[in-house]
Chains A and B, each alone.
Chain A
């Protein structure tokens, strides 16, 4: 949708402007991890971390969690956003970054060779995907509508014609119904939505930006609550991306080893990141790097410790908080 004066006048956010938004800068950004087991959120105002909080899944009016059948219902008095910002003494309209942990079947993410695609630019590829994904993938038996995005191997949004230097593009898809739920929820909260980023993509993006070596190929295995992700990276570009269900973790490790050997990844350049608990059976002779909160702090030169919330609570220090902080800063 292009900008137009008529649309601006029609969608004029008068209430927001009259509420002080016209002259307010540095509105709080809230990154929320939406997992079936746990909902956690990081609240930031500008570069400053106001707080990181777990266990928000029991709060009324929380954002929709993928795959969750439990409905906590709308808040009676204050909205989820008002409560969260009130706890961390933040003011203004929140800007949300949603990180929903989707099941393997709900997230399509794969690297495609540009030469195998009929489309030459991202716009026409998105149109083909919206029309019928089978025009692009060949085999697609999903009956649900999906929202699609085309990313470069460096996980940047593709616009216009594909870069001739790139041999691959990443095609990512989320169920449109879930995205609509997020949209409606954000609308109810009178907030704005910055992005919906699956945590697997956020982890790989962090890895590409901060840790992936430029000269050597490397492999990354991320263990999330709902899935395990394997990514092979060459020259800071993803050449292979696989997702495995939780009960298929052993295959993930075996395939990682197989692909790594095929692409010449040395054992020292295998990175293991356990965000949803360590499930893979890693051999004792593992020589790679385990990504921890300490390593993330060291690499990004930032501390992932949050302040205590108003009225009690404990200070948090975790890899997830560090990831969210980096992500929010990257998106701001």
Chain B
């Protein structure tokens, strides 16, 4: 008379509690769920991390939009700065000729006379800026010719060393010639140098007064 007047729902409920097959199934089910726990935990942590990143992304997007909005009025200023920045190679390629002449004047020894002096540009860079295309010198050549009284064995050497101390760093000597003339005790000489406008004109007596503007 087992299960007499017991509703089918209760009969099933009792079978689930006490039936060996259902207990075995429940044990297997619970064990399976338990084994899935680390995976589920990992998924949960990843999901939480994803949610945090999404929230962070949303905040950053909002900040980006705010910055873009703030950047709008500055676009015109930025464009002008870009135009100014285009002139940077032109300014960098300038050579302070007066300072160079002053340095040569100071370097000429007392027993020498300078006949001719020429500064030439032998290499150019084409720079396109707002308003046209400009040829900017990238290499200068300096030619010196004159006469010197030969009091010592190599009288041009002192002149040459004095010039090198004053000319921009990296200056190369291209040619140095001397032709002795025993008639009046004078010797003619010619010197040729090549240098690049690198902005360092300390030897010419031009000192930097401040750091360059990063713009």
Contacts and interface: CB of A to CB of B under 8 A. Distances in A.
Interface stretch (B19-27, B160-168, B186-194, B205-213): B19-27
B87 to A, nearest CB: 78
A195 B4 contact: yes
Q: Main SS of the interface on chain B?
A: helix
Contact of B17 (A93, A149, A151, A331): A93
B5 interface: yes
Contact of B6 (A11, A16, A195): A195
The 6 closest A-B pairs by CB, nearest first: A1-B8, A196-B5, A192-B14, A195-B4, A193-B10, A147-B5
Contacts of A196: 4-6
Nearest to B24: A22
A151 B14 CA distance: 22
Contacts of B10: 183, 186, 192-193
Contacts of B5: 147, 149, 174, 179, 195-197
A195 B2 contact: yes
A12 B26 contact: yes
B6 A22 contact: no
A90 to B, nearest CB: 16
Contacts of B6: 183, 193-196
A151 B27 CA distance: 36
Nearest to A186: B10
B14 A194 contact: yes
Contacts of B12: 1, 3, 7, 11
Nearest to B15: A3
Given A7-B12, A8-B22, A186-B10, A21 B4 contact: no
Nearest to B20: A25
A72 to B, nearest CB: 24
Contacts of B4: 149, 157, 172, 195-197
A43 to B, nearest CB: 17
A201 interface: yes
A67 interface: no
A31 interface: no
B7 interface: yes
Interface string A73-91: 0000000000000000000
Given A157-B1, A197-B4, 7 more contacts: A8-B25, A11-B12, A22-B30, A95-B14, A156-B1, A192-B18, A193-B6
